[in-house]
């Protein structure tokens, strides 16, 4: 991958004291754009104070951490290859093991609607946990397929699995699946994020494609769904198609950013089918993205994930914080 | 007439309050000082024009007009020469210069038609401001006059034609025009390129969850055509799962497995035998023969992987999938040495042997492709001194 280096500008800076291995997930705190949780393959979960650019807390799992989330500004939950769900109290700096899965925990989300934690695992299930005590509230089979991605907004909970299935749940009533769908994309599902307005979700695949889908099954609404190509680079007559690893929504404007293994971040206006902007190319694949709650900052994690398996000098793992403008994120 | 009064004040630059004798010079000044792109030095026509240019061409956001006064740095206001300056600022300027608020009447004696035209064209924003149509020392600019300095920018010139033709005799309204071009130049949304995928998947929907679609069961192919390549491992498994197979991410066996004795001095001789298959992630040795010597009692999933073959080193490595210590017998004698290597977390791990299919067929020469993987494996050992066996047979100390 040839990379053009762009000087850091005022609008963007790199975090200091970064994890020593690839970054799997980053999440901004729910009510401030000061704190950022970072899960990494170096087995650590770190909390950064973005405004001061320092690492505030760090705790470890036994094996790489794949996802992390906030409950409120002082509690974080994380899970990973060690199959264990941990809660960490950031004030008391104490950790509690909430329970485990039979496979690696790929996704961890907080369901504010029911005050519970949801974990999705490669064991083919989603579990719901009481967010305060080690108590698994329920286990929900996802078609016996490994959970690759999930997203929750309000009561709408969408799970994407290894077999390109999509399960739409209502967290208030986990007794049955609301909708069972097949991904409209031909290739492996990489990431799903629900629109902040709960109308639909955005789904990305490893084949440089993103689909915008609507939850309402009314045929009139379903007509609006579409998919588009992105994160592709023409290189000497060959078009390289990259996985779209990350999606993050701007909570105010319902626009979203996508990050691909090509190292680009694009911001899209899904309702108007417009690309709002593209940032400069980052030093390596974008592995995770997170908008702050007010959409003023976008955290961009850059880590190579062995997409090509041939790149020898391993690019540095970095996290950039970019303060975005309305021009970049607001529908025109 | 109101115009005359206005003409009395010299054209001035809103961004830096500098006065000029001629609006043409003012425009040159603005282009050079305030609307010049700091990256490619291209001169744009307005602040928003510059901002859009930087965003689309260089992917950088500009929040201030360069070289401007602190309170006049707003990049969103469209100002071109004296056009577009907020009316209150014009009044303020007049007041400072002449001490009079004489502007109030000047608006009234503009020809109504012209006024309408200008507002229509300018759209929102500076439409309330009329000084744009005021005769400057140049007088009304004939259409042929501007190409002089627009020649710098043939693209722009092309776009400029339309608005100027609409109102001959009037000065081109650059602000309006530059915004107008920005809209169509936006990248087209490649929305409808996907229908084929949708249709295939709806067919599959009927079968429910039983039949995995073809694209899923077989390794990923570049189904999109010969001219494209998906940058992803051939296996249709998420990148995380592939990565998690690497030995360094596997549970560490208890440190009971002692460091293996160092068999011979630090010289490595690559096994060049006929059918080398894999390299041992523990010692980076190429092994010969495909004897997969999975030991009994280990039903770890690494067994299911085709490919991993016996390790040529005579040492016993721990199997990280089952925590057992395994003795491998080499099928071909290979001379090797690994010095100072910490072997605690074992060898013969399938992840370390790479993704099976294509790896098994790798010729020795392609070892270079595998070195990174090897290094990964060695990286995750306890952090003391890591030694990595390079392709060339030298022993190098691994460093990140």
- What would the pLDDT profile of A169-178 be if each residue is shown by its tens digit? 999 998 889 9
Q: What is the mean pLDDT of residues B68-88?
A: 87
- The bridge status of strand B228-230 relative to strand A238-241 is parallel
Q: What is the mean pLDDT of residues A193-200?
A: 92
Residue B120 reports pLDDT greater than 60: no
Highest mean pLDDT among B53-57, B223-227, B231-235, B370-374: B53-57
> What was the pLDDT predicted at B63?
83
Rounded Cα distance between A84 and A140, Å, is 17
ipTM of the complex: 0.88
pLDDT digits (tens, 9 = 90+) for B265-274: 333 333 333 3
Lowest-confidence segment of A14-18, A312-316, B293-297 by average pLDDT: B293-297
Q: Tell the residue number behind the tokens 């043409």, with chain if given.
A: B24
pLDDT digits (tens, 9 = 90+) for A125-171: 999 998 888 888 889 988 889 999 999 999 999 999 998 899 999 99
- Report the share of chain A in percent with pLDDT over 70: 96
3-state SS assignment for residue B362: coil
| Structure confidence at residue B219 as a pLDDT band (50, 70, 90) | very low
Residue B220 reports pLDDT greater than 60: no
Residue A277 reports pLDDT greater than 80: yes
Rounded Cα distance between B256 and A134, Å, is 33
| Structure confidence at residue B7 as a pLDDT band (50, 70, 90) | low
> What was the pLDDT predicted at B284?
39
pLDDT digits (tens, 9 = 90+) for A46-76: 999 998 999 999 999 999 999 999 998 889 9
> What was the pLDDT predicted at A310?
64
Instruction: Compute the mean pLDDT over every residue in chain B, rounded to the nearest whole number.
Output: 54
Which residues of A fall within a CB distance of 8 Å from B217? none
- The bridge status of strand A23-28 relative to strand A12-14 is unpaired
Lowest-confidence segment of A17-31, A111-125, A317-331, B116-130 by average pLDDT: B116-130
In chain A, positions 225-284, which contact chain B (CB-CB < 8 Å)?
A: 225-230, 232, 237-243, 245, 261-262, 273-275, 277-280
pLDDT digits (tens, 9 = 90+) for A250-270: 989 999 999 999 999 999 998
What would the two tokens of residue B251 be? 């549970």
> What was the pLDDT predicted at A243?
93
| Structure confidence at residue B224 as a pLDDT band (50, 70, 90) | low
- Helix runs in B224-328, H state only: 239-244
> What was the pLDDT predicted at B304?
35
Residue B362 reports pLDDT greater than 50: no
Any chain B CB within 8 A of the CB of A67?
Answer: no
CATH topology of domain A12-328: Methylamine Dehydrogenase; Chain H (2.130.10)
- Report the share of chain A in percent with pLDDT over 90: 59
**What is the DSSP-derived secondary structure letter of residue B55?**
I
Q: Check residues B282 and B37 and name the one with the higher pLDDT.
A: B37
pLDDT digits (tens, 9 = 90+) for A231-253: 999 888 888 899 999 999 998 99
In chain A, positions 171-230, which contact chain B (CB-CB < 8 Å)?
A: 180-188, 190, 206-209, 211, 225-230
Any chain B CB within 8 A of the CB of A64?
Answer: yes
Q: Using an 8 Å Cβ cutoff, are A18 and A281 in contact?
A: no
| Nearest CA among A156, A154, A186 for reference residue A168 | A156
CA max distance for chain A:
57
> What was the pLDDT predicted at B230?
85
Q: Please name the residue of chain B whose CA is at the shortest distance from the CA of residue A236.
A: B227
Q: Check residues B82 and B171 and name the one with the higher pLDDT.
A: B82
* Domain boundaries, given as residue ranges, for chain B: 12-97
Any chain B CB within 8 A of the CB of A61?
Answer: no
> What was the pLDDT predicted at B395?
39
* Domain boundaries, given as residue ranges, for chain A: 12-328
């Amino acid at each position: 991958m040839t990379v053009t280096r762009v000087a850091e500008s005022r609008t963007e800076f790199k975090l200091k004291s970064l994890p020593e291995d690839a970054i799997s997930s980053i999440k901004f705190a729910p009510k401030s754009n000061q704190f950022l949780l970072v899960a990494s393959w170096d087995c650590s979960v770190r909390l950064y104070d973005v405004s001061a650019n320092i690492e505030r807390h760090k705790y470890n799992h036994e094996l790489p951490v794949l996802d992390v989330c906030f409950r409120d500004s002082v509690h974080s939950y994380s899970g990973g290859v060690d199959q264990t769900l941990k809660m960490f109290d950031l004030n008391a700096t104490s950790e509690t093991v909430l329970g485990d899965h039979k496979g690696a925990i790929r996704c961890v989300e907080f369901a504010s609607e029911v005050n519970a934690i949801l974990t999705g695992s490669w064991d083919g299930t989603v579990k719901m946990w009481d967010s305060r005590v080690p108590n698994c509230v329920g286990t929900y089979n996802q078609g016996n397929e490994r959970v690759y991605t999930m997203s929750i907004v309000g009561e709408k909970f969408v799970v994407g699995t290894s077999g390109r299935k999509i399960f739409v749940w209502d967290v208030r009533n986990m007794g049955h699946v609301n909708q069972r769908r097949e991904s409209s994309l031909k290739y492996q599902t990489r990431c799903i994020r629900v629109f902040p307005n709960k109308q639909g979700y955005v789904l990305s695949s490893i084949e440089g494609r993103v689909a915008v889908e609507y939850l309402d099954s009314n045929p009139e609404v379903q007509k609006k769904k579409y998919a588009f190509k992105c994160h592709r680079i023409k290189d000497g007559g060959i078009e390289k198609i990259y996985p779209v690893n990350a999606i993050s929504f701007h909570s105010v404007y319902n626009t979203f950013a996508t990050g691909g293994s090509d190292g680009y971040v694009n911001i899209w206006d899904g309702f108007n089918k417009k690309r709002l902007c593209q940032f400069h190319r980052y030093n390596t694949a974008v592995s995770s993205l997170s908008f702050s709650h007010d959409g003023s900052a976008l955290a961009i994690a850059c880590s190579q994930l062995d997409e090509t398996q041939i790149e020898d000098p391993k690019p540095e793992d970095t996290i950039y914080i970019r303060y975005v403008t309305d021009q970049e994120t607001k529908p025109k | 007439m109101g115009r005359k009064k206005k003409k009395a004040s010299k054209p001035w630059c809103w961004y830096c309050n500098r006065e000029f004798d001629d609006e043409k010079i003012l425009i040159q000044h603005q282009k050079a000082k305030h609307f010049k792109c700091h990256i490619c030095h291209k001169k744009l026509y307005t602040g928003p024009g510059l901002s859009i240019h930087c965003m689309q061409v260089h992917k950088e956001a500009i929040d201030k007009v360069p070289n401007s006064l602190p309170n006049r740095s707003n990049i969103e206001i469209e100002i071109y020469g004296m056009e577009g300056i907020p009316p209150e600022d014009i009044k303020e300027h007049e007041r400072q210069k002449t001490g009079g608020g004489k502007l109030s009447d000047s608006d009234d004696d503009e020809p109504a038609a012209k006024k309408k035209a200008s507002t229509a064209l300018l759209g929102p924003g500076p439409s309330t401001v009329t000084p744009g149509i005021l005769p400057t020392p140049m007088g009304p600019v004939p259409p042929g006059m501007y190409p002089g300095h627009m020649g710098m920018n043939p693209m722009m010139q092309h776009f400029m034609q339309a608005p100027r033709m609409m109102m001959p005799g009037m000065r081109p309204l650059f602000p309006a025009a530059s915004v107008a071009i920005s809209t169509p130049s936006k990248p087209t949304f490649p929305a409808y390129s996907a229908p084929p995928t949708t249709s295939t998947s709806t067919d599959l929907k009927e079968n429910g969850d039983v039949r995995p679609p073809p694209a899923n069961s077989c390794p990923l192919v570049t189904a999109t055509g010969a001219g494209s390549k998906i940058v992803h491992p051939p296996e249709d498994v998420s990148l995380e799962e592939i990565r998690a197979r690497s030995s360094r991410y596997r549970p560490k066996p208890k440190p009971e497995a002692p460091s293996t004795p160092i068999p011979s001095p630090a010289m490595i001789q690559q096994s060049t035998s006929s059918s080398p298959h894999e390299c041992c992630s523990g010692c980076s040795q190429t092994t010969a023969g495909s004897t997969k010597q999975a030991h009994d009692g280990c039903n770890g999933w690494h067994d299911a992987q085709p490919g991993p073959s016996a390790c040529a080193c005579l040492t016993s490595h721990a199997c990280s999938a089952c925590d057992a210590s395994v003795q491998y017998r080499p099928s071909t004698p290979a001379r090797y040495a690994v010095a100072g290597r910490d072997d605690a977390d074992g060898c013969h791990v399938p992840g370390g042997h790479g993704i099976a299919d294509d790896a098994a067929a790798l010729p020795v020469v392609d070892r270079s492709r595998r070195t990174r993987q090897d290094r990964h494996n060695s990286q995750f050992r306890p952090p003391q001194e890591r030694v990595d066996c390079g392709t060339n047979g030298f022993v190098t100390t691994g460093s990140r």
